[in-house]
Amino acid sequence: MPKVHRQFSGSQLIIASHNQGKVREIGDLLRPYNVETTSAASLGLEEPEETGKTFTANAKLKAHLAAKMAKRPALADDSGLVVPALQGDPGIYSARWAGPEKDFDKAMQLVECRLGKSSDRNAYFVAALALCWPDGHSEIFTGRVYGTLVWPKRGTLGFGYDPMFLPQGGTKTFGEMEPGIKHSISHRSKAFAKLVLACFST
């Protein structure tokens, strides 16, 4: 029996994130579905501590809290860069590697430094999306994009680790790519495609 997903039937969705880069990307991805997005930060909603051990657990935790507080459905994303040669780091700690000052130059340098002379420069971005309702129901979807890490980093577009991530088969890093092109192949867009198909179809 195929899984029956709960449909999102409203026109307003809370994006349970305080990261402006992500809120902007999610808003762009949902615009074609006539969904108006409001960020948790703009509603003054509290940001929970990300105590989960997986991307999925953290996405669920954030969306549940926002939905409960706002009494409306909320969508949260938890994402990060996984480097197998670093035993999966920075992984769920991708944001924390940039420190309180959110310095991703420093975070990318740390990745490069830990990789050292390793011949394995494979990496992938993961995105977990949790759409949660105030009654506690949740729908979870994940996406990945595979690539390799380049050094020196290239490009000034995007955010986070984009300048050092070269997607498989590409010549431009995410930091050199127009946002529309990145959206079409990113981990987040893959998770989104699954979410939209399951919960936003008419």
Q: How far is the CB of 42 from ligand IMP (least distance, A)?
A: 17
Among 35, 81, 131, 177, which residue interacts with ligand IMP (rule: CB under 6 A)?
81
Sequence-distant (6+) residues with CB within 8 A of 60 are 52, 76, 130, 132, 138, 140
Distance CA 27, CA 98 (A): 24
**79 is a contact residue toward ligand IMP (CB under 6 A):** yes
**186 is a contact residue toward ligand IMP (CB under 6 A):** yes
Of 133 and 174, the one with the shorter C-beta distance to ligand IMP is 174
**125 is a contact residue toward ligand IMP (CB under 6 A):** yes
Among 161, 177, 189, 190, which residue interacts with ligand IMP (rule: CB under 6 A)?
161
**160 is a contact residue toward ligand IMP (CB under 6 A):** yes
Among 158, 173, 190, 191, which residue interacts with ligand IMP (rule: CB under 6 A)?
158
Of 13 and 145, the one with the shorter C-beta distance to ligand IMP is 145
> Which residue's CB atom is positioned nearest to ligand IMP?
160
Q: How far is the CB of 98 from ligand IMP (least distance, A)?
A: 6
The tokens for 64 are: 């549940």
Among 13, 19, 69, 89, which residue interacts with ligand IMP (rule: CB under 6 A)?
19
Just list the catalytic residues. Answer: 78
Residues lying near ligand IMP in the complex (CB under 6 A): 19, 50, 78-81, 94-95, 125, 158-162, 174, 186
